[in-house]
Structure 1
Amino acid sequence: MAKRNNEHISIADALKEFVEINKLETGLNKVNVADAWVKLMGNGVNNYTTAVTLERSTLHVQLSSSVLREELSYGKEKIIRMLNEELGKEIIKKLILR
């Protein structure tokens, strides 16, 4: 049975507590990382992106263009840094482009 708080708390705090109690953090991270990829990479890269998945702290991105994959591989560290900044915490430690 859920515990009941008699004191008033903000919606943000209540949602944070709900996520922690129900262990939903990893699922939300997966969704947030995919959204951050779409937002930061723009239409040019997103047109060639077929899948974005997060497994533990490794981001797997599947691309349909080998040329784009090669270009992005030169800036992996910068991409990881930008995505982590967008997410507000260090979720991604490694990026694999396929």
Structure 2
Amino acid sequence: MKFVYLIMGPFDSKVDRKAIGKNNNAEIIGVRNLDEAKVVAKSLIGIADVIELCGAFGESGAREIIDATCGKIPVGFVGHLDCQNDLFDEIFS
């Protein structure tokens, strides 16, 4: 099983990536924006068994990644409880 986590921020997917696990079966890849994420996600068809997205993608970004992969890879995205909105706003504003 190959898990890939995409995180959006000031990254370059060509160099900002790290695989871990006994068989490198978990990988984190940094992408700078949704367009880069779609290219990376499409390249993972046939390689990744599941893609998880950081919260910056939200539901609409997750749908775009699903479309980019033609629905061939399960895609999830991270969220948080509403009671922590202020903390997240403070960090990411």
Q: Which has the higher strand share?
A: 2
**TM-score normalised over the length of structure 2:** 0.29
Tell me which structure has the larger Cα radius of gyration. Answer: 1
**TM-score normalised over the length of structure 1:** 0.28
Q: Which has the higher helix share?
A: 1
